Amino acid sequence: MRKKKRINYDVIIIGAGPAGLTAGIYCGRARLKTLILEKALVGGLATYTNEIENFPGFPEGTSGLDLMNLFQKQAKKFGVDFKLTDAKSVRLDITNKRVETFRNIFAAKTVIIATGGRPRITGAKNEENYLFDKGISFCATCDAAANTDKTVMVIGSGDAAIEEGMFLSKFAKKIIVSVIHNEGKMDCNEIAKTQALSNEKMDFKWNTMVDSFEGNGHLDTVVLKNLKSGELESIKIDTCFEFIGYLPNTELFENILDMDKQKYLITNEKMETNLPGVFACGDTRDKELKQISTAVGDGAVAGVEAEKFIAEAELFKNQILQKEKVGFIYLYSAIDAPSRELLPMMQEIETEFIDTVKLNTLDVYKGKSLCERLSCDAEPMTIFYTENGVVVEQSRNCDKPHIIAKLKSLI
């Protein structure tokens, strides 16, 4: 078997949906050597919709494909490389990040995960023929206006199904809701349930599930099966909205990254996962609103944070762990006066040992990830290390005589 070729990048982004493309634009513009891997269609889920009316900047609306082509063009303009291939496995250690595809091993300083998700489907007959723009929708926000004065069906009775159903009732003339449970039992919260049951436009079909989807090129009928009687009922509709869950594309990261119960990746506001230098953005992460605009925001944050991570890693290697002189780090916090006021004294000490000691001052408040690399979370603190980069003491003792004695012992 051919040996896989190893190619180095600064940043690898997995997934070329709106989140991954935006992260790519930011990384490319920051002159980072950036690769985006995409296993299906550049543009991701956004390309499945013809009419996007809620992405800012397009008052007349735009097609998902057109919008995503613009995103890709912009990323390419900033030198981002694209490879249409599946990321098959990942290694995400702090100093060794690799993404393996069928042909190559891509190594990178940071990895941004933008693998999005996919709506869960019913598995009923003919469903595959009518997905997305052929009559089965998964997004009320996206397709409600196109169903003004029409009859739609909603599948499901969880919070998403009922809340989206009520949103649809502002547009559609009738919303038929297929619920698997006995009359009156729903999976949503009580408030949504009460509101939905009193909504005159909503007609509930209890104890039902979809048996088949029918139409001629475009869906026009949903056949529901009554789970108690086995009876089939054909219902004419314009669009069927399925809200029976959403599955994040996170299988690759099982047992590597922290996930919630539904397998969404857990991040903080900086899109950081639990592993340093690994970011996640867009629909793949645990968040409230899954839309192009929020994926774009996430992608921008992830791109900027990836750039910061690389800059800090380089600073750490070249400045902090330099190997020419004995090393002395002073950790302080710019928002803590007593620790800040010790800075001039530290600089005096450096001047005294100018030929033999390298002082680095580090603001804990600004350089959180650098502090993590040094395993320090308190300030003020001093760290001493030899010319070979071996840490010999981490101490909260910031007295001048102690520091001078320590430095003398190391020179």
Ligand X SMILES: Cc1cc2nc3c(=O)[nH]c(=O)nc-3n(C[C@H](O)[C@H](O)[C@H](O)COP(=O)(O)OP(=O)(O)OC[C@H]3O[C@@H](n4cnc5c(N)ncnc54)[C@H](O)[C@@H]3O)c2cc1C
Q: Which residues bind ligand X (CB under 6 A)?
A: 14-20, 37-41, 44-46, 48-49, 52, 54-55, 86-87, 114-117, 119, 132, 137-139, 142, 249, 252, 282-284, 290-293, 295
CB of 160 vs ligand X, minimal distance in Å: 13
CB of 26 vs ligand X, minimal distance in Å: 14
Q: How far is CA 12 from the centre of its chain?
A: 14
**Degrees, nearest 5: CA angle 123-126-132:** 80
Give Cα separations from 175 to 120, 164, 170, 189 (angstroms). Answer: 20, 11, 10, 19
For ligand X, which is the closer residue by CB, 103 or 323? Answer: 103
For ligand X, which is the closer residue by CB, 33 or 39? Answer: 39
CB of 296 vs ligand X, minimal distance in Å: 8
CB of 208 vs ligand X, minimal distance in Å: 24
CB of 143 vs ligand X, minimal distance in Å: 7
Candidates 236, 249, 231; CA nearest to 119 is 249
For residue 10, report the phi and psi dihedrals to the nearest 5 degrees.
-75, -45
For ligand X, which is the closer residue by CB, 280 or 349? Answer: 280
CB 332 within 8 A of CB 310: no
Across 127-207, where does the E strand assignment appear?
136-137, 151-155, 174-178, 202-205
For ligand X, which is the closer residue by CB, 18 or 135? Answer: 18
By three-state DSSP, how is residue 241 classified?
A: strand
**CA 77, CA 228: separation in Å to the nearest integer?**
59
CB of 89 vs ligand X, minimal distance in Å: 9
For ligand X, which is the closer residue by CB, 208 or 250? Answer: 250
For ligand X, which is the closer residue by CB, 47 or 178? Answer: 47
Number of helical H runs and strand E runs in the chain = 10, 21
Long-range contacts (CB closer than 8 Å, 24 or more residues apart) made by 189-195: 189/159, 192/159, 192/162, 192/163, 192/166, 193/162, 195/166
